[in-house]
Amino acid sequence: MSVDPANWVSEQRQEQIREALIAHCRLSSEQVEQINEAAKVMRVSFSDAAVHAGIVTQHELDQTIEFVDLTANDRQLSIIEKAMRRRKPSRELIVRPRKIVTPSKEVILAHDSYNPRSERIRALRTELMLLDDTPSQTNVLALVSPCPSEGRSLLAAELAVAFSQLRRRTLLIDADLRHPRQHSLFPSENTWGLAQALSLGSGPQFLGVEGLPQLSLLTSGPKAPNPLELLSDGRFGRLVADCRYNFDQIVIDTPPVSQYADGLAIATTAGRALVLSRAAVTPQRAMKEMMRRLISTQARIMGAVLSSF
């Protein structure tokens, strides 16, 4: 029995597109089964059935086909491995947000670019970018401060907005599993987030942000009984490593270091930390103690911000 080489190449390409769609669009097993059934009934390819069923958009399919064609000559990696390693903007992984949220009025930069605070945030963003010695790699930055109520969560949100406004694919992670706040700054139900992704080993579910197509948010999720263990036993590090393939910038919110060791574990994973204190509020002793403890993380301290709001 002979095989038509042209048909074999066509079938192989369709299989590559199928695998890439599953990897790029993070299709669940239920969605894959639904598409397979539609393909059988309609007698069309997996990719055409995915678009017809409304599970994949035509734009997502076009991006996937472009990716497959661009990597067709590279046989050293599987199609899924290539998809996971791709970092160029035209071939990047597709992040499918679970839902779209709107920034609250507290996140001034998202609503008023001419506000003096917005200008200060942009200036801080510029300084951080000038200090980045690996511009071709994903920049992961943890915001740390000694005490509660120092503006850490708000600054993390504003910096994430600022980076995304430069068309940098940005992820904001709420890793404060003690008293999370990002789901309030971007009003949303905090029913599933980082804690569940780590404890259950499931993929993170990102939220999109209205008016900021380059920004994604991973909320904390409901409080977990063992936050420090979740953040320091390797699971969080693997999640961040996976996210590096999707994003150019990752900003991580943390709990206060004087109360919990979580922030030190997060800074270790991030490798970079921005220190925050609040004028006339943060005790000097607490700041000195935090800096002493940060040294043990070997995270590079990118700078210090004195908040006066």
227 close to 260: Cβ distance less than 8 angstroms: yes
Beta bridge partners of 306: 277
Q: Single out the residue of 208, 202, 199, 200 nearest to residue 231, CA to CA.
A: 199
- Residue 307: its pLDDT value, please? 83
Tokens of 160: 């994430």
Collect all residues with Cβ–Cβ distance below 8 Å to 256 and sequence separation of at least 6.
Answer: 145, 146, 147, 148, 150, 152, 263
- Residue 309: its pLDDT value, please? 62
- Residue 96: its pLDDT value, please? 61
- Residue 90: its pLDDT value, please? 38
Collect all residues with Cβ–Cβ distance below 8 Å to 109 and sequence separation of at least 6.
Answer: 115, 117, 118, 121, 122, 158, 161, 162, 165
Ordered per-residue pLDDT tens for the chain, 309 residues? 444 444 444 777 888 888 778 876 777 788 888 899 888 888 888 988 888 888 888 877 887 787 666 555 444 444 444 444 444 443 344 566 668 999 999 999 999 999 999 999 999 999 999 898 787 789 999 999 999 999 999 999 999 999 999 989 999 999 999 999 999 999 999 989 999 999 988 788 899 999 999 999 999 999 888 999 999 989 999 999 999 988 999 999 999 999 999 999 999 999 999 999 999 899 999 999 999 999 989 899 999 999 876
Q: Which class for 59: exposed (0-12), middle (13-18), buried (19 or more C-beta within 10 A)?
A: exposed
Domain ranges of the chain: 5-91, 100-307
d(CA 197, CA 204): 5
d(CA 176, CA 254): 5
Region of 188 (left: φ > 0; alpha: ψ -120 to 50; beta: rest) is beta
pTM of the complete model beyond 0.85: no
Tokens of 238: 């693997």
Please write the tens of the pLDDT for every residue from 102-139: 999 999 999 999 999 999 999 999 999 989 878 778 99
Rg of the chain's alpha carbons, rounded to an integer? 22
Question: What are the E-state strand segments in the chain?
Answer: 100-101, 139-144, 170-174, 207-209, 212-218, 249-253, 272-278, 300-307
Q: Could you tell me the CATH superfamily of domain 100-307?
A: P-loop containing nucleotide triphosphate hydrolases (3.40.50.300)
Cα first-last separation, the chain = 78
Three-state SS for 105?
coil
